[in-house]
Amino acid sequence: MLFYDSPNPAPNPRRVRIFAAEKGIDLPRREVSIPQREQKAPDYLEKNPRGQTPILELDDGTVIAESVAIMRYLEALHPEPPLFGTTPLEIAQVEMWCRRVEMILMPPVAQVWVHTHPFTAALPGRNSEWGEANRPRVAEALRFFDRSLAEREYTAGDRFTAADILLLTAVDFARFIGLETVDGLDALGGWHGRVSARESAAA
């Protein structure tokens, strides 16, 4: 198996690296440079027509795209420690919080990144007004997660799961692009300190 990876700050490949580190899986990897547009090269597009990283290529040539799909595949191969829950309720709660990170926090962060950040200045169709309009949506989403984390230690409950990996990579990417993340948000800040202290967070 070969993992097509991109270095930080790219948040989606980092999800898989943290997940693999938590599981103790050593994934053979090949780096795909986003600044050099290697994800849009014809041979890469043959593997993932979305032109994005990460992907996981299996030994028979099958390609799994989408970071959460790759994480689920690895979970099925290596169930311990469980990161997507074990009981019906825990599985649903991890799913619920993963979807909330993907649907509430990631979209406005992505819009600020694509439409306002200097690193994406060469992209066609940028609309800085739209990008700016998304800054308050990021702040609102972070307040939502802060309120929920006031009630529990981790994003989906009382133990570290895939939902924490999605939230951590989203918060760190938002921070990288210059957005305020945990300032004044005590529960989110405390959680961020806890999950950042894990060895896997260095991935």
Residues that bind ligand GSH (CB under 6 A): 6, 10-12, 34, 39, 51-54, 66-68
Q: The tokens of 174 are what?
A: 């938002």
Residue 112: which of 176, 177, 58, 168 has the closest Cα? 177
The distance of closest approach from Cβ of residue 110 to ligand GSH in the complex, given in angstroms and rounded to an integer, is: 8
The distance of closest approach from Cβ of residue 40 to ligand GSH in the complex, given in angstroms and rounded to an integer, is: 6
The distance of closest approach from Cβ of residue 150 to ligand GSH in the complex, given in angstroms and rounded to an integer, is: 28
> Residue 196 and residue 174: Cα distance in Å, rounded?
15
Tell me the angle at which helices 162-176 and 106-116 cross, rounded to the nearest 10 degrees: 20
Shorter beta-carbon distance to ligand GSH: residue 71 or 141: 71
Shorter beta-carbon distance to ligand GSH: residue 67 or 200: 67
The distance of closest approach from Cβ of residue 184 to ligand GSH in the complex, given in angstroms and rounded to an integer, is: 27
The distance of closest approach from Cβ of residue 147 to ligand GSH in the complex, given in angstroms and rounded to an integer, is: 25
Shorter beta-carbon distance to ligand GSH: residue 39 or 185: 39
Shorter beta-carbon distance to ligand GSH: residue 185 or 203: 203
What's phi and psi for 80, nearest 5 deg?
Answer: -110, 140
Shorter beta-carbon distance to ligand GSH: residue 4 or 160: 4
Residues pairing with 4 in the sheet: 30, 55
Q: The tokens of 90 are what?
A: 């825990």
CA distances from residue 185 to 76, 192, 195 in whole angstroms, order as listed: 35, 10, 16
